[in-house]
Chain A
């Protein structure tokens, strides 16, 4: 079945440091890929998405590129802020009308 693997956490960075959160997936066909973010006490917010190979999703300085050859969708940001502290989830959907399969999530803490 479909699965998503995220790097182990938590991750602690200083403000303005570079961020990379690894995400790899296993799926048949051509799934769509997503990054969601969860701030303390809140639900999930869509951060970015990509629907086909080589697509790059971007939002709020975050980027991720759909790499079919390595089945990866790593999240990157050049300069993190304290306000980026949250839990980040990678997810896939095999197609419309389908459930999301999530990774375990990783907690990011950014120090001033």
Chain B
């Protein structure tokens, strides 16, 4: 079974631009979570979607948003990029309602110049 895939793997943007990252979960998994990883803050939870509904949200500004489609694929969007948004963005999928083990993708490395 294929793992979690994320596209693109690398991205360079300039301040003020916006970016959209994509995540395809493991086949059959219905929950997708997003995390930001930076050297200073470590791994921080952004949000989680299940059946196209956001169930949990971390402490990030409204510039960070996401959505999930009917096939469980998810996208996250960051508008008005800031230098501090440079990070590795990780997506994780979970089987469903009663499962808590999260399986991570390889991440998208975003550099904001």
Cβ contact within 8 Å between B101 and A46:
yes
Chain B hits for A101, CB < 8 A = 45
Cβ contact within 8 Å between B48 and A104:
no
Given contacts A43-B106, A43-B107, contact A97 B100 (CB under 8 A): yes
Closest to A34 in B: B101
B56 located at the interface, meaning its Cβ lies under 8 Å from any Cβ of chain A in the complex: yes
Number of A-B contacts (CB under 8 A): 57
Q: How many Å lie between the Cα of A3 and that of B19 in the bound state?
A: 31
Cβ contact within 8 Å between B43 and A96:
no
Cβ contact within 8 Å between B107 and A100:
no
Cβ contact within 8 Å between B103 and A46:
yes
Given contacts A43-B90, A43-B107, contact A100 B102 (CB under 8 A): yes
Cβ contact within 8 Å between A97 and B50:
yes
CB distance from A83 to the nearest CB of B (A): 18
Cβ contact within 8 Å between B43 and A89:
yes
Cβ contact within 8 Å between B55 and A97:
yes
Chain B hits for A102, CB < 8 A = 42-43
The residues in B between 29 and 77 inclusive whose CB is less than 8 angstroms from any CB of A are 31, 33, 35, 42-43, 45, 48, 50, 55-56, 58
A99 located at the interface, meaning its Cβ lies under 8 Å from any Cβ of chain B in the complex: yes
Chain B hits for A32, CB < 8 A = 100-101
A-B contact pairs, 22 of them (CB 8 A): A32-B100, A34-B101, A43-B6, A43-B105, A44-B104, A45-B104, A46-B101, A95-B100, A96-B99, A97-B31, A97-B48, A97-B55, A97-B56, A98-B56, A98-B100, A99-B33, A99-B56, A100-B43, A100-B92, A102-B42, A103-B42, A105-B42
Chain A: residues with CB nearer than 8 A to chain B? 32, 34, 36, 42-46, 49, 89, 93, 95-105
Nearest first, the 8 closest Cβ-Cβ pairs linking A and B are A99-B45, A44-B104, A102-B43, A43-B104, A43-B106, A96-B100, A43-B107, A93-B100
